[in-house]
């Protein structure tokens, strides 16, 4: 089954995720460790793939990012309108 894309995007949060993660002084490896503590098993490469729009994001992963990074849904999805148009 082919993965569906919207305007050639596999996800729309990758750039925001990278920006917020860096602002919070977390490496990709540190983020995966924190997510693993929540039972969300991601690897550093998964974070790289999400941040670089090469992987889709599951709803529970979005929740995990929000929890670990102490951010809101709006923080993660800010400015995505242009990607969706």
Could you tell me the residue ranges of all domains in the chain?
14-84
Give the 3-state secondary structure of residue 5. Answer: coil
For residue 69, pLDDT beyond 90: yes
Residue owning tokens 């929540």? 38
**Percent of the chain topping pLDDT 90:** 81
Check: CB of residue 83 under 8 Å from CB of residue 12.
yes
pLDDT by residue (tens digit) across 10-49?
A: 999 999 999 999 999 999 999 999 999 999 999 999 999 9
Indicate the class that CATH gives domain 14-84: mainly alpha
pLDDT grade, residue 66 (50/70/90)? very high
Note the pLDDT of residue 65: 98
Sign of dihedral through CA atoms 17, 32, 36, 67?
negative
Read off the pTM.
0.90
């Amino acid at each position: 089954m082919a993965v569906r894309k919207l305007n050639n995007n596999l996800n729309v949060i990758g750039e925001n995720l990278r920006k917020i993660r860096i602002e919070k002084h977390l490496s990709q490896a540190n983020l995966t460790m924190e997510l693993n503590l929540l039972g969300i098993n991601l690897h550093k490469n998964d974070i790289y793939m999400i941040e670089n729009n090469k992987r889709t994001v599951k709803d529970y992963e979005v929740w995990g990012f929000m929890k670990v990074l102490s951010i809101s849904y709006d923080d993660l999805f800010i400015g995505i309108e242009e990607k969706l148009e």
